[in-house]
Amino acid sequence: MEERRREFAALVDRFSEADGVQATAIPGLFLIKSSTPTLPLHTVYDPAVCLIAQGSKRAILGDQVLTYDAEKYLVISVDVPVVGQILEATSEHPYLCVKFNLDREVLASLLLDQAVSSSGPQGPAPALAVSAVTPELTDAAIRMLRLLESPGDAKVLAPLIEREILFRLLQGEQGARVREIAMADSRLQRINRAIIWLNANYREALRVDDLADMAGMSASAFHSHFKSITAMSPLQYQKQLRLQEARRLMLLGMRDAASASYDVGYSSPSQFSREYRRLFGLPPSQDIERLRDVPQSMVAA
């Protein structure tokens, strides 16, 4: 297993040109590298599996705190605002990670092609979970990375290895959670309809009854299932989306605090400042000044 991990880390390092998140020529495959630990980063994770080749990271969703490393993989089942922080990384031994997006259509096709047993939680479960990495999952990830050397081969073989990776996930401890991603009428996907709407319309006024209708649930059932999956209420979810977008606009120098608050749906700048400080720990101007004083790889990895 140790030899596999060394090869895995060497491949990620080889194809990572610099610190940060990098797309590859294989659709849905991303490489993440950082030569230093990072600040806690508020971001939105999308459905994916993350395999660390070297180093460790912490992900926080509400009250849920997960730490994962080369021995554990992370599964994300729906789009969800998360605080992520790289814990272990040096220039000699950088943090190295592979992220595979979980394609719902490929998952559904795999489930239709063969009966795949799955274990794990039944019913609404948190959007984030970690499990022990298996040799089979690592082997598949290594073979996927090797294809980056052979673009012609990748066109044919990458989809096959993607199916293998999904198969391994379905067979593993998080199989039930991954299976729900593919099932159109699962409670996860019904909640995901509302999440998709929130991500596209976070500036708009929020009515829980309307979101519950989208999910085909009563308001009370929707609220309960939404919180079970995202660890926050719909209103809290919307606030995090608004504040993260405002932070992005200010960091890029596109807006000042007042205009950013208006652009993301706030009518009261003072309310925006209070909620911004509650989430990020500092008022908008001080937070942006702090972020600009650190290397961008520390806030973008």
CA 34 vs CA 12, 73, 95: distances in Å:
11, 18, 5
49-89 pLDDT, tens digit each: 999 999 999 999 988 999 999 999 999 999 999 999 999 99
The highest-confidence range among 21-25, 117-121, 175-179, by mean pLDDT, is 21-25
**What pLDDT does 123 receive?**
58
For residue 279, what are the contacts with CB-CB under 8 A and spacing of at least 6? 42, 239, 240, 243
Q: What angle do CA 43, 298, 85 make, to 5 degrees?
A: 50
Distance CA 195, CA 201 (A): 10
Q: Which amino acid does the sequence have at 293?
A: D
The gap from C-alpha 148 to its chain's centroid, in whole angstroms, comes to 23
Q: Give 183's pLDDT tier (boundaries 50, 70, 90).
A: confident
How many other CB atoms are found less than 10 A from the CB of residue 61? 21
**What pLDDT does 95 receive?**
97
134-157 pLDDT, tens digit each: 999 999 999 999 999 999 999 999
Domain ranges of the chain: 2-182, 187-232, 248-300
Tokens matching residue 159: 């989809």
- 115, pLDDT greater than 70: no
CATH 2.60.120 for domain 2-182? yes
Greater confidence (122 vs 188) lies with 188
Residue located via tokens 């999910």: 215
**Percentage of the chain surpassing pLDDT 70?**
93
220-268 pLDDT, tens digit each: 999 999 999 999 999 999 999 999 999 999 998 878 999 999 999 999 9
Mean of pLDDT over the chain? 91
**What pLDDT does 240 receive?**
95
**What pLDDT does 98 receive?**
98
- 14, pLDDT greater than 90: yes
